[in-house]
Amino acid sequence: MKTGGSGDVIPSEDAAHLLQVEEVSVSFGGIRAVSQVSFDLDQGCCGLIGPNGAGKTTLLDTLAGIHTPREGRIRLDGHDLTGQSSTWRAQHGIRRTFQRHQAFGWLTVEENLLVALEWRGRTRRILADLVATPSTRRRRRAHAGRIEHVLELCGLLQVRHQRAATLPIGQVRLMEFARAIVDEPRLLLLDEPTSGLGPEDTERLGSVVREITATGTCAAVLVEHDLDFVMDVCDRMIVLVLGEVLAAGDPAEVCRDPEVISAYIGVA
Ligand SMILES: Nc1ncnc2c1ncn2[C@@H]1O[C@H](COP(=O)(O)OP(=O)(O)OP(=O)(O)O)[C@@H](O)[C@H]1O
Ligand SMILES: [Mg+2]
């Protein structure tokens, strides 16, 4: 895969889709957690729903490079990334949030975002950072502006100087989301982002997800149990049951599918 100076992927000429998942299966010993799952994603937000244990987190982890599929392929811009590490995938624009939040509790909210912007940190920058060359100062100004914008977008300006560990769970989750989008990902993987959020923060999160996925520069896969949120934010939906795709397509149509109602919505 070719990469630009900032590590961004340069699409190949025959790139068909941003993300292509081709018959992916993932097993843990004898447990087949994900079975022959296929789907494409170019833009917008794709909801991934299903009962507990359906394989939703396992599939996100596999897209993020935490698990290796036993079978199948995952492509980004047509390039096979099945064997690439999670670090490599992050460097190429794939970001995720976790079902159980993973904040740097001893850092402030603003520092958590700064870490996400600076993490690519190449060692050759150490000297430049120490002497604050013009390019370092330009980069710092750009980062400060981006952090300000994302803090405002996510309603975190008031708590920017607070340590993450002192925040209520809802704000920690919003911060984790802010950290995932601050570096302008191309593919965002969200695992139950509304868990712990009150109605106001859920509404805010929904409007930010809609806004960033409407630009066409960032697509998202959203795992959620809150069906109203999924219907509000997603333009496509996939239903997983026991690791297999039960239904996929327009969210309203999928929710009317009797098989989906009986396997999930009836008990959601
Ligand atoms: N690291 C692991 N080792 C062994 N089994 C696992 C592991 N991770 C997940 N599983 C199993 O894989 C299956 C799918 O789990 P997964 O966490 O992906 O489901 P989920 O759809 O995210 O569920 P939930 O809605 O409860 O978060 C379950 O049977 C689970 O017990
Ligand atoms: Mg899960």
pLDDT tens digits, one per residue of 37-86: 999 999 999 999 999 999 999 999 999 999 999 999 999 999 999 889 99
| Average pLDDT of every residue of the chain | 88
Nearest to 255 by CA among 218, 233, 228, 220: 228
In the prediction, which pLDDT does 133 show? 67
Ligand 1, residues 24, 25, 31, 68: which to mutate, most atoms within 8 A of Cβ?
A: 31
Ligand 1 binding pocket includes 55 (Cβ within 6 Å): yes
| Whether residues 29 and 161 fall in one domain | no
Q: What sign does the dihedral 112-113-114-115 (CA atoms) show? A: positive
> Do 208 and 197 form a contact (C-beta atoms < 8 A)?
no
Give the residue, 132 or 211, on which the prediction is more confident: 211
Atom 26 of ligand 1, nearest CA residue: 52
| Whether residues 76 and 120 fall in one domain | no
In the prediction, which pLDDT does 132 show? 65
Integer Cα distance of 213 and 162 in angstroms: 29
Ligand 1 binding pocket includes 53 (Cβ within 6 Å): yes
Q: CB 179: neighbour CB atoms within 10 A?
A: 24
Position 197 pLDDT exceeds 70: yes
**φ and ψ of 89, to 5 deg:** -65, -40
| Whether residues 77 and 122 fall in one domain | no
Number of domains in the chain: 2
| Whether residues 224 and 158 fall in one domain | no
| Whether residues 43 and 144 fall in one domain | no
Residue 24 maps to which CATH number?
Answer: 3.40.50.300
Work out whether strand 219-223 and strand 45-49 pair parallel, antiparallel, or are unpaired.
parallel
Ligand with minimal distance to 51 CA:
1
| Whether residues 31 and 144 fall in one domain | no
Atom 16 of ligand 1, nearest CA residue: 55
Ligand 1 binding pocket includes 54 (Cβ within 6 Å): yes
Domain boundary among 154, 184, 214: 184
Ligand 1 binding pocket includes 31 (Cβ within 6 Å): yes
Tell me the residue range of the domain where 158 lies. Answer: 104-184
Q: Given pLDDT bands bounded at 50, 70 and 90, which one contains residue 103?
A: confident
Ligand 2 center to residue 189 CA distance, Å?
12
Domain boundary among 135, 158, 184: 184
Domain boundary among 160, 184, 208: 184
Domain annotation covers residue 123: yes
| Whether residues 63 and 178 fall in one domain | no
**φ and ψ of 94, to 5 deg:** -100, 125
Domain annotation covers residue 3: no
Estimate the crossing angle of helix 134-153 against helix 169-181, to 10 degrees: 140
Ligand 1 binding pocket includes 212 (Cβ within 6 Å): no
| Whether residues 89 and 192 fall in one domain | yes
Q: Which ligand 1 atom sits nearest the alpha carbon of residue 240?
A: 21
Q: Within 13 Å, how many C-alpha atoms sit on residue 140's CB side?
A: 11
Ligand 1 binding pocket includes 28 (Cβ within 6 Å): yes
